[in-house]
Amino acid sequence: MQISTIAIIGGLGKTGGRVAERLKERGITVRAASRSTTPNFDWQDRATWHQALEGASAAYVTFQPDLSVDWAAEAIAGFAKAAIEAGVRHIVLLSGRGEDGAVRSEENLKAAGVDYTVLRASWFNQNFSEGAFVDGLLQGKLALPAGDVPEPFVDADDIADAAIACLIDPRHRNRTYELTGPRALTFRQAVSEIAAASGGIIGYETVPIEAFIAEMTAYGLPQETTDLLHELFTQVLDGRNSPVMDGVNRILGRQPKDFSDYARQTAATGIWSV
């Protein structure tokens, strides 16, 4: 297939931004779309969808806030219809592992009649350096409702490389891949590796889920967000997603980045220095 423009929905996010930059380096025209771009894209404003998709032959799609929310599956069905009408022939969807709602969204995409690739990803390494966990690490203690269940954290760079391969290589169409890192760690072990790499003293505390949700509510997070957090820290982290999968290797022909390599390379940037 001849590639024209590739639309990146969520083009300023952890993976979307990486995909956009790597595609530009390959000389491929990119339209990165989010609520703060021109044209803008808002999942809850369908009037913004067509302009973001018009003239694109393919799209990389990340959904906000998460594919497990109640309205996501219907939104993905509508988006796929709009994409087909705009001439998009292939959609690469970033999904999550072990989320029932995400599966419903995947099924709606597959039923739409457009070529698809589904990338089910583990928790990102970059949640510790580009997300909500940074403040706790800088304060010397990360407190989360995640105990001894290991998670095979995956690097956002590996996700981006896999997404690009799926966008430009037709062999990956109409397939579903699970993307994980090469080994599973508990959150406590992950924090310990960050502390060792950064030379800091950083602790980890497991807190009850009810106390965590109450604290997030007190901070002003809406119920949709706290419900999502409850699902992520209970259903998604109940052990179902601990097995290491081979999606990165199958797509890229190499092993994914190990968490210790991520921690060492990220520590060198100074992000965890007080």
Which CATH code of 3.40.50.300, 3.40.50.720, 3.40.50.880, 3.40.50.2000 fits the domain covering 5-124+154-182+242-257? 3.40.50.720
Task: Determine the pLDDT at residue 2.
Answer: 59
Give 237's contacts (C-beta < 8 A, 6+ positions apart). 146, 149, 151
Three-state secondary structure readout of the chain: CCCCEEEEECCCCCCHHHHHHHHHHCCCCEEEECCCCCCCCECCEHHHHHHHHCCEEEEEECCCCCCCCCCHHHHHHHHHHHHHHHCCCEEEEEEECCCHHHHHHHHHHHHCCCEEEEEEECCEHHHHCCCCCHHHHHCCEEEECCCCCCECCECHHHHHHHHHHHHHCHHHCCEEEEECCCCCECHHHHHHHHHHHHCCCCEEEECCHHHHHHHHHHCCCCHHHHHHHHHHHHCCCCCCCCCCCCHHHHHHCCCCCCHHHHHHHHHCCCCCCC
Task: Determine the pLDDT at residue 274.
Answer: 67
**Residue 98 region, left (φ>0) first, then alpha (ψ -120 to 50), else beta?**
left
Tokens describing residue 180: 């994980």
Task: Determine the pLDDT at residue 131.
Answer: 87
Task: Determine the pLDDT at residue 39.
Answer: 87
Task: Determine the pLDDT at residue 95.
Answer: 98
**pLDDT string in tens for the chain (274-residue length):** 557 899 999 999 999 999 999 999 999 999 999 999 998 999 999 999 999 999 999 999 999 999 989 999 999 999 999 999 999 999 999 999 989 889 999 999 999 999 999 999 999 999 999 988 999 999 999 999 999 999 999 999 999 999 999 999 999 999 999 999 999 999 999 999 999 999 999 999 999 999 999 999 998 999 988 998 999 899 889 999 999 999 999 999 999 999 999 999 999 999 999 6
Whole-model pTM: value is 0.96
Task: Determine the pLDDT at residue 28.
Answer: 96
What are the phi and psi torsion angles at 31 (to 5°)? -120, 100
